[in-house]
Amino acid sequence: MKGLDSHDLYQTLQTKPGFFIYCSEKTKQILTDWPTYSKLSRYLKALELNHTVKIDLPDDSCNGNANKTTFCVTTIPSGHCPGSVMFLYEGSFGTILYTGDFRIAKGDCRKFQAFMSNPSRPEYGLKTIDHVYLDCTFCTDSAKTFPSRQISVDVTIALVSNWISKSPEHKVLFSLAGRGFGAEFLFVEVHRRLNIQVHISEFKHKIYKNLTDLRNAISRQHTTSVHACGEGTVSPKKHSPCFKDSSKLLTIRLTTQWHLMEGKNVDHRVVVDEGGIQRVLYSMHSSLEEIQDFVKILQPYKVTPIAKPNKVSKEKIQQLLNCEVVLPVNRFLSRENYEDYS
Judge whether 311 and 336 are in contact, CB under 8 Å. yes
pLDDT of 18 reads 83
User: Tens of pLDDT along 98-143?
Assistant: 999 999 999 999 999 999 988 878 888 899 999 999 999 999 999 9
pLDDT per position as a tens digit, 151-190: 999 999 999 999 999 999 999 999 887 667 889 999 999 9
Query: Per-residue pLDDT tens for 312-321?
Result: 999 999 999 9
- Reported as a pLDDT band with limits 50, 70 and 90, residue 336 is low
Q: pLDDT band at residue 333, thresholds of 50, 70 and 90?
A: low
16 pLDDT higher than 90: no
Q: For residue 239, is pLDDT > 50?
A: no
Which pLDDT does position 339 carry in this prediction?
Answer: 46
pLDDT digits (tens, 9 = 90+) for 48-85: 999 999 998 776 555 555 567 899 999 999 999 999 99
Query: Is 238's pLDDT higher than 50?
Result: no
- Residue 124 DSSP class: G
Handedness of CA 61, 66, 68, 74 (dihedral sign): negative
What pLDDT, on a 0 to 100 scale, did the predictor assign at position 100? Answer: 95
The pLDDT score that the predictor gives to residue 1 is 60
Confidence of residue 338 (pLDDT cuts 50, 70, 90): very low
Cβ-count burial 155-182 (b if 16+ within 10 Å, e if not) = bbbebbeebbeeeeebbbbbbbbeebbb
For residue 334, with 0-12 CB atoms within 10 Å meaning exposed, 13-18 middle and 19 or more buried, which class applies? middle
